[in-house]
Amino acid sequence: MTSEQPDPAATTDEIRLLWSGHEPGPARRGPRPKLTRSEVVAAAVRLADAEGIEAVSMQRVAAALGYTTMSLYRYVDSKDDLLLLMSDAAMDTTPPGPREDGDWRAGLEEWCMGGVALYRAHPWMVRLSVTGPPSGPNGIRWMEAGLREICAPGLRPSEAVQMLLILTTVLRETLRMESDMQQAAHRHGQQISDNESDWVQGLLGVLDPGAFPTVTRVLGQLGTDEDEFGGLDLDSERVSGPAEGLGFGIDRILDGIEAYVGRRAAD
Partner DNA sequence: ACTTAATTGTGTAAGTAATACACAGAACTA
Partner DNA sequence: TAGTTCTGTGTATTACTTACACAATTAAGT
Contact mark string toward DNA, 77..116, x via CB under 7 A: -xxx------------------------------------
Does 24 sit behind a cis peptide bond, omega within 30 degrees of 0 on the bond before it?
no
CB atoms within 10 A of CB 42: 17
Single out the residue of 10, 12, 28, 266 in contact with DNA (rule: CB under 7 A). Answer: 28
Interacting residue with DNA among 63, 64, 71, 193 (CB under 7 A): 71
The answer to whether 212 contacts DNA (rule: CB under 7 A) is: no
Number of amino acids touching a copy of itself (CB under 8 A): 102
Task: By CB under 8 A, tell whether 266 contacts a copy of itself.
Answer: no
How would you class 49 by CB atoms within 10 Å of its CB: exposed for 0-12, middle for 13-18, buried for 19 or more?
A: middle
The count of C-alpha atoms lying within 13 angstroms of the C-alpha of 97, restricted to the half-sphere facing its C-beta, is 28
| b/e burial code for range 201-210 (CB count within 10 A of at least 16 → b) | eeeeeeeeee
Question: Smaller CB distance to a copy of itself: residue 31 or 157?
Answer: 157
69 binding DNA? (CB under 7 A):
yes
50 binds a copy of itself (CB under 8 A): no
Site for a copy of itself in 142-181 (CB under 8 A): 143-144, 147-148, 151, 156-163, 165-166, 169-170, 172-174, 176-177, 180-181
Which entry of DNA, a copy of itself, none binds 58, CB below 5 to 8 A by partner kind? Answer: DNA
Nearest to 232 by CA among 71, 106, 148: 106
CB 232 within 8 A of CB 251: yes
Note whether 131 binds DNA by CB under 7 A. no
- Contact set with DNA (CB under 7 A): 27-35, 56-59, 67-71, 73-75, 78-80
